[in-house]
Amino acid sequence: MSIITEMNQLSSETMAPVYFLYGTERYLIEQFLQKASEALFAGEEGEMNDIRLRLQDTPLGEVVEEAETVPFFSKRKLVVIQDFYLATSQKVATKLEHDIPALEAYLDSPAQETVLVVVAPYEKLDERKKITKKLKKQTSAIDVNPFDEKETFAWMEAIAKQEGVAIEQDAKQLLYKRTGPNLMLLHRELEKCMLYSKDGDPVTASIVDELVAETVEQSVFTVIDYTAKGRAGDAVRLYHQLLRQKEEPLAILALLTRQFRQFFQVKTRLAKGYTQKEMASQLKLHPYVVKLAMQQVKALTTKQLRQALIVCEETDYAIKTGQADKELAVELLLLRLAST
């Protein structure tokens, strides 16, 4: 089930008795829980009937008891069990004993007044476990792993549609490029653009360009692009712009090093025939980050990337041992990178 579709349809009358959210995109999880609470409660009803529990602190039997307890001066009740590691193969240090059969029995006959949300914010589930199979089969199970580019664009469209605003394709692409896959940041910047657009007018690329600045990470990515193309002057100018924004040279250097390391990892895997999805999984990176890296490394050899990592490490050592001024050292690094 798509979380975009599900959130758009959330209402007190149509909500399922049990939801199972699994995946690592915590911002989407929080958005879902917020919308579920808003759909269920009016006024102060939620204060006594919106129950949030952590599995590591609460025996599963108590969670089931809470779900079976009638709401307090309200028609409905929301019970959320966070960090449901029992659906994974993870070993968690805890002295609690969890009554898994009690939850399995509850799933067979859930309380109609309660909406139970089981949250497993993990990349992988243990599909062999009975409770995992039961949760995925007998609940409204929703994948909340990071969006790919297409899903992110659909998510932006859904947000804009709720506000009665259109967003042009070029605007979505530029907004995604400026913010990267950080959904919280993307949502905040999109709201700013929608407020800026005039009544009835769409959000355009020019509005995004005017209002949304590149993240530091995106700026560093652009710096590397300049150095790869031998545009030393542009790389240094953008570096000075980051300094004027009070960014630390050592922090910029760390981002440069991390970026080159990711490029090297992607380059070597491309040579072995790995797909974008496989690389994202292996390197624990967002698919969009891998996509950008795949585009960038076409213009770089493995030897260049290895040398870039070496000079980054040398620069870091020189700064931290007091052999070089940090601002000048990073600038000289960019000049060296652009000349290779």
Per-residue pLDDT of 40-99, as tens digits, reads 998 888 888 999 999 999 999 999 999 999 998 888 999 999 999 999 998 887 888 899
What 167-174 contacts at long range (C-beta under 8 Å, 24+ apart), as own/partner pairs, is 167/193, 167/194, 167/202, 167/203, 168/202, 168/203, 168/204, 168/205, 170/204, 170/205, 171/202, 171/203, 171/204, 171/205, 171/207, 171/208, 173/205, 174/205, 174/208, 174/209, 174/212
Tokens representing 17 are 């008795």
pLDDT at 235: 95
Is the Cβ–Cβ distance between 106 and 144 less than 8 Å? no
Closest CA to 24 of 111, 121, 115: 121
Is the Cβ–Cβ distance between 279 and 290 less than 8 Å? yes
Could you give the CA distance from residue 216 to residue 205 in angstroms, rounded to a whole number? 20
**Adjacent-strand bridge partners of 142:** 21
Q: Interior CA angle at 222 toward 195 and 24, to 5°?
A: 65
Three-state DSSP state, 76: coil
> Phi, psi (5° rounding) for residue 317?
-65, -45
Instruction: Report the Cα 327 to chain-centroid distance in Å.
Output: 32
- The 10 Å Cβ neighbour count of residue 338 is 19
Instruction: Report the Cα 105 to chain-centroid distance in Å.
Output: 34
Count of alpha carbons within 13 angstroms of residue 335, beta-carbon side? 6
DSSP class of 243: H
pTM: 0.77
pLDDT at 288: 86
Q: Under the phi-then-psi rule, with left for phi > 0, alpha for psi from -120 to 50, and beta for the rest, what region is 54?
A: beta
> Phi, psi (5° rounding) for residue 135?
-65, -40
Could you give the CA distance from residue 190 to residue 203 in angstroms, rounded to a whole number? 9
Could you give the CA distance from residue 87 to residue 121 in angstroms, rounded to a whole number? 10
Q: How far is CA 81 from CA 63, 86, 114, 123, in A?
A: 7, 11, 13, 18
pLDDT at 1: 57
pLDDT at 199: 73
Q: Which residues of the chain have pLDDT under 50?
A: none
